[in-house]
Amino acid sequence: MTEHPRLPGSAPGRGPLSGLLVADFSRVLAGPYATMLLADMGAEVVKVESPAGDDTRSWQPPVREGVSTYYLGVNRNKRSIALDLKDPADAAAAQELARRADIVIENFKTGGLGRFGLDYASVSATNPRVVYASITGFGSGPAGAPLPGYDLIVQAISGLMSLTGDPEGEPFRAGISVFDVMAGMHATIGVLSALNVRHETGRGQHIEVNLLSSALSGLVNHASAVVAGGVVPFRMGNSHPSLFPYEPLPCADGDLIITAGNNGQFRRLVEVLGVPELADDPRFARNEDRTANRDELRPLLVERLSTRSKRDWFDDIIAAGVPCGPINTVDQGVAFAESIGLDPVVTVGEGEAGVPSVRHPITFSETPADYRLPPPALDEHGAELRRWLATEEDA
């Protein structure tokens, strides 16, 4: 890893990426999510913001003590420095940060950082070991680069919205910016892969991730249906094109998701429901039969499920080894994770400055994720970082 004076005020990290320095020139979601994951795993992340700050600082409500919870959700474990890249002194500080960094992550418009000497070619000329990740909406090619990279637009263009919603209704977006998050994860995977190569070669490389490619990869079976099968999938509401039952089914007091993904699970399900003969009915014996005859099978299952509450059926169906679950609100989802021992909420920072946050999703047996710094105020660490960047590397 790059040798540089330790960041001011930092302590040795305990995560698997401890000792790595990340220069974070990204904003909003995909890039900040990637850098937060790296920071949780021990990397030192310096978040470079414009004097106006990351856009998500003003994306509210909701807020916690006046701060956007959107911003809080993807910016823990980072230090903030506000730099006006049009100012020569600030641009020089940004260039020095990139020169010292092990990793640079940015999501500017293609070529946008070039005029500040912060594009991959400029940074790698003085820092050949840098792993430099660029996140765009539609790639860096001449046709894709000018297109605006918003998650909602990618949900529309990729085809996801054509798959989401009631079959007789309008297309819907997913409830989260799913492709921003996915692209952030792909960027993280790319960075870690390039670091492994650097261990062997001593050289970094340029990684490019775009939301549309992440979307097409994330459409998995639906994209495969098109490219391998020549079949265009369509909206089916909460139903699955290749499995049944694999959807919400009504009980006496509401819906329960039931997913019998193979013949054994289906047999156990109908035994619990008290209609074991359905497992041997030739219309329903195999998954392809159940899928083809779902309109005949669904009312037979609903007839039994409607006799009891969803909680009663949940307990019995789970006990039989068949996957199922209630449709929760987000707070109920957090509570359920707590009830099964996943400890989903952590406090980032100490005392009154501590901020509740969602636990890093990966568990390491030897080098656990760290929650050392609450999301920073704009330019909270600017003065000390400027002093640090002005020091000689061998100081």
Among residues 43, 5, 127, the alpha carbon closest in space to that of 385 is found at 5
Catalytic residue among 40, 54, 102, 180: 180
The answer to whether the CB of 5 falls within 8 A of the CB of 395 is yes
Q: Determine the distance from the C-alpha atom of residue 362 to the mean position of all C-alpha atoms in its chain, rounded to a whole number.
A: 12
The answer to whether the CB of 99 falls within 8 A of the CB of 126 is yes
| Locus of tokens 């005020």 | 9
Here the tokens at position 245 are: 């039952």
Omega before residue 245 within 30° of 0, cis:
yes
Task: Please give the C-alpha separations between residue 395 and each of 5, 75, 190, 392, in angstroms, as whole numbers.
Answer: 7, 30, 32, 5
H or E segment and range at residue 34: helix 30-40
Calpha distance 145→317 (Å, rounded): 50
Here the tokens at position 263 are: 């013949």
Instruction: Please report, as a single letter, which amino acid is at residue 138.
Output: F
Q: What angle do CA 215, 220, 226 make, to 5 degrees?
A: 95
180 is a catalytic site residue = yes
Dihedral sign for Cα atoms in the order 227, 225, 209, 48:
positive
Query: For the chain, what is the largest distance between any 2 Cα atoms, rounded to a whole number of angstroms?
Result: 79
Instruction: Please report, as a single letter, which amino acid is at residue 393.
Output: E
Positions marked catalytic: 180
